[in-house]
Amino acid sequence: MARSEPVIRNNPDFRIGPDMAQRFQRMNLQRRVMSLIDKEEPALILSMNARGNDGTIFVQGGGSYQSGTPDAPANVVIGTDEYLRMQRLINAGIPVTLEADVRTRTLTDDMNGYNVLAEIPGTDPKLTDEVVMLGAHIDSWHGSTGATDNAAGTSVMIEAVRILKAAGLQPRRTIKIALWSGEEQGLYGSRNWVKSNLADPADMKLLPMHEKVSAYFNLDNGTGRIRGIYTQGNKEIMPIFQEWLKPFEDLDAKTVTVNNTGGTDHQSFDAVGVPGFQFIQDGIEYNTRTHHTNMDSYDHLIPEDLKQAATIIAAFVYNAAQRNEKLPRKELPKARASRR
């Protein structure tokens, strides 16, 4: 019997595999559990670090992102060893006393998020109003300094622009860098920029700039070097990217896949039919050690890999800016309201 696969609402071509579907189910269960806990109004929620070990603690949560909602109860995640030690003591009938001093401020003076944008103006009078974009998100989780998620991507994109400027290159199209806010809360920075400048996925009424953006390139998978690029189902663009990667085969970047990848800001562009791409990177310790953990610090960055990534992205952006035509696009998505 054929098994249907869930589809992300804002992109009918992006299908979720079984692992991601299970992750969404767990997240939904967690939301329901937290709703029950909130009704009890506890002084403190103590959670076990289910995934991490050897001192790594995965930290998420903190309550609703919506303004005007009540503050969530204090929620502390501790290491597996400490949690299980307390559990053994309790099971053995030995009283456990826990002292906690949790101090948190909720900042409500300014509820806006802020994107940072800059550009290198195009030099071709016929193409200067067209744009090639590159970007990464600047917000991070609170467990550490957000070095791999996503100061790494941010620094690579800034370095790519620096390379273009230092080389004295004069792009035909305008090159625009965007450092997004609010990615961790739901791609808010990029989604709202796209909605304000390109199109709203809800109605797909195209704004004038929609036809002017040739492509958006994103980096948000840690410190690992680039191995290739996902084309998000765009088959026509594959031979173009394969040609662009040929000079970097000695840097181990060779793969162009038609596959989709999700979870970051290129999806905001892809959702309204503007080519948006995320690069394939070495995983390093991203999903096992640094992503949303207390280990996401500077010492987990690999400078040589970041330099490799910046070099490749600078070339991709410049190549896109120099083409006679914009990069090929997929079929324009339908408005969300008309989907079932």
Same domain, yes or no, for 211 and 286? yes
Residue 306 within a domain? yes
According to the model, what pLDDT value does residue 226 have?
Answer: 98
Residue 107 within a domain? no
Contact 56, 148 (CB under 8 A): no
8 band by pLDDT with thresholds 50, 70 and 90: very low
Same domain, yes or no, for 131 and 241? yes
Which range among 104-113, 147-156, 251-260 shows the weakest confidence by mean pLDDT? 104-113
According to the model, what pLDDT value does residue 62 have?
Answer: 67
The β-bridge relationship of strands 131-137 and 226-230 is unpaired
Last residue of a domain, one of 91, 107, 128: 91
Task: Write down the pTM of the prediction.
Answer: 0.88
Residue 100 within a domain? no
Which range among 100-109, 120-129, 227-236, 248-257 shows the weakest confidence by mean pLDDT? 100-109
Same domain, yes or no, for 84 and 207? no
Same domain, yes or no, for 58 and 126? no
Last residue of a domain, one of 58, 91, 124: 91
| DSSP secondary structure letters along 114-160 | --EEEEE----TTTTTSEEEEEEE----TTS--IIIIIHHHHHHHHH
Taking residues 171-198, what's their average pLDDT? 97
Same domain, yes or no, for 273 and 126? yes
Which range among 25-39, 205-219, 224-238, 255-269 shows the weakest confidence by mean pLDDT? 25-39
According to the model, what pLDDT value does residue 19 have?
Answer: 65
Same domain, yes or no, for 66 and 208? no
| Domain count along the chain | 2
Same domain, yes or no, for 280 and 136? yes
Residue 227 within a domain? yes
Q: What is the tens place of the pLDDT at every residue in 37-59?
A: 878 888 888 888 777 778 899 98
Residue 102 within a domain? no
The first and second tokens of residue 89, run together, are: 């003591």
Q: Using the predicted structure, report yes or no on whether residue 283 has a pLDDT greater than 50.
A: yes
Same domain, yes or no, for 135 and 236? yes
Residue 34 CB coordination number (10 Å): 17
Same domain, yes or no, for 30 and 74? yes
According to the model, what pLDDT value does residue 169 have?
Answer: 96
Taking residues 274-290, what's their average pLDDT? 96
179 vs 22: which has the higher pLDDT? 179
Single-letter amino acid code for the residue at 147: A
Burial environment of residue 144 by CB neighbours within 10 A (0 to 12, 13 to 18, 19 or more): buried
According to the model, what pLDDT value does residue 4 have?
Answer: 35
Same domain, yes or no, for 122 and 220? yes
Residue 199 within a domain? yes
According to the model, what pLDDT value does residue 91 have?
Answer: 97
According to the model, what pLDDT value does residue 1 have?
Answer: 33
Question: Domain containing 38: what range?
Answer: 18-91
Cα separation, 269 vs 216, in Å, equals: 7
User: How high is the mean pLDDT of the chain?
Assistant: 90
Residue 169 within a domain? yes
Taking residues 165-190, what's their average pLDDT? 97
- Percent of the chain whose predicted confidence (pLDDT) is above 70: 92
Same domain, yes or no, for 236 and 144? yes
According to the model, what pLDDT value does residue 51 have?
Answer: 79
Q: Using the predicted structure, report yes or no on whether residue 280 has a pLDDT greater than 90.
A: yes
Last residue of a domain, one of 74, 91, 108: 91
Residue 146 within a domain? yes
Same domain, yes or no, for 260 and 153? yes
CATH number at residue 229: 3.40.630.10
